Chain A
């Protein structure tokens, strides 16, 4: 009883970091749940991943089948449903990634599992596990409790737990593939690489990044002036890219690029976790936003809580003066 299943994630020959983050989260609650940690791995030619996962779990159950070479929500759901029904774990952890969100809700419906999505923390209240998630892009936190019987299912937000060092020597068990033949109703076709643009923002020393707060494309000229005054490259949040203000290769965050410039100036960016994950490694972060509770300030070194349209032109003017 009390066992925890963790679905490991990998893509194109790489075990993704979120797998180890979830195993660390599992380790933090395993004593209270009183169970063992099992890593679930579905893939083809993934023995080395199984060995690595064993360093972080009590047991690794893995399927090694060419039919699982690429992620496919339908196949993953089939395999997990089978394993969960057989082993009856207490808690199942799936990454809240483009793989996990494409599969977990369907699994929850199929197995009627109590389900909380996008979990960023785990706590205990009266001996019961309480997943923590956020609302309104991080402005509100919520504690949840599971009702009814386990197994419980959560999807876990990337970068919300820190991966630990290997400290276990779990058993590794290869299990039979649940598939006898390929499925026809959903097929993986191919991957397409990101388009390479004129500037690589991940190599930039100074970035001026814009978000929804800029409101209109015509306000971009004000940002260009600022960028020019300090030889910065302009990047943006998803909102700025979706609005068509900047090309796709300028997007900072989970679906764009991770950046680590010397200086990152976030202008009108509230700081969704997908954005923060991509820029919090910057050496110095300056944030300008009129909402004092904007999550961007949790990672900022300098906070300017004010109207960007009043601050930015003056900042540019002063920078020009001082650098003249």
Chain B
């Protein structure tokens, strides 16, 4: 089982104040803390679990600057043999179809059985890269996978649908699957693994190495254009509870009990 796992370094903005920079087309990321994309972390774990159960080989793929090495090494520390980081400022990372094209170019050069991505990135949330990647590679796919069972030349997956419903799908290999969070319990990188990861191969490639022309994957070559970013008007009708934390708690408690909310 030769596996590729595509991972991305993303900012944690769950509690951060996101501001648009002067270009109006990107955000000021100088004060963000970064880490591996949540769903990708589950994909890494799933690949390691498959390898532990059946043997095989894992290669991590990542598009991004050198800062991404931290999440790549952390993934290598959990398992996997090698990694490729594609670093090229000409790549338009905002277009999921162009990202898929770049990843496909890197994967196509080798033989593979299974490609995994997270089903969604925490920053852009297009939920599109994995499925587009499958089309680029000309193989089957399934999105939002919550369980994987490898069969002989086939794969059986459970897809998480709306309302808690699950769909079971069987596909022939090779295939691409996009992993949904909660499929497993991602491990922490073991100390010995972290040391070993430093010695594992991490190749850095550019567009030329992948045989890609700039216009295929650059912003100018995208079939869509980001016109502008803006902070949405928060149409909140909420009553703002004011004061110190203690005062806020008291005001709210009074409203709940005496105001008849409960």
Contacts and interface: CB of A to CB of B under 8 A. Distances in A.
Interface of A: 11, 71, 73-74, 96-98, 101-106, 108-110, 112-118, 125, 130, 134-148, 184-195, 206, 212-213, 230, 238, 241-242, 244, 248-249, 251, 254-258, 262-263, 270, 284, 286-287, 289-291, 293, 295, 297-298, 300-307, 310-312, 314-315, 317-319, 321-323
A214 B131 CA distance: 33
B170 A319 contact: no
A134 B162 contact: no
16 contacts: A73-B143, A96-B127, A101-B127, A139-B18, A142-B228, A145-B227, A187-B170, A189-B168, A191-B165, A192-B158, A194-B163, A194-B166, A291-B17, A302-B241, A312-B249, A315-B253
A185 B13 contact: no
B246 interface: yes
A102 B142 contact: yes
Closest 9 CB pairs of A and B: A194-B164, A318-B253, A314-B249, A310-B245, A114-B223, A106-B135, A303-B238, A189-B168, A105-B132
B125 A118 contact: yes
Nearest to B237: A301
A176 B125 CA distance: 36
B245 A303 contact: no
A305 B240 contact: yes
A308 B97 CA distance: 40
A143 B14 contact: no
Contacts of A323: 257
B225 A185 contact: no
B127 A263 contact: no
A136 B238 contact: no
A242 B13 contact: no
Nearest to B121: A135
B191 interface: no
> Chain B contact residues (Cβ within 8 angstroms of A): what range?
35 or more
B53 interface: no
B188 interface: no
A136 B11 CA distance: 9
Contacts of A284: 261
B2 interface: no
Nearest to B42: A242
Given A191-B168, A298-B236, A301-B238, A136 B13 contact: yes
A148 to B, nearest CB: 5
A297 B238 CA distance: 7
Contacts of B240: 303, 305
A162 to B, nearest CB: 15
Contacts of B226: 142-144
Contacts of A195: 164
A188 B169 contact: yes
Interface of B: 13-18, 20, 27, 38, 96-97, 100, 119, 122-132, 134-136, 140-144, 156, 158-172, 181-182, 185, 222-232, 234-241, 245-246, 248-250, 252-258, 261-262
Contacts of B171: 185-187
Given A140-B230, A188-B167, A305-B240, A109 B223 contact: no
Contacts of B158: 192
A181 to B, nearest CB: 16
B238 to A, nearest CB: 4
Contacts of A241: 182
B112 to A, nearest CB: 16
A323 B252 CA distance: 13
B246 A291 contact: no
A103 B132 CA distance: 9
Nearest to A273: B125
Contacts of A318: 249-250, 252-254
Given A188-B167, A191-B168, A315-B249, A141 B224 contact: no
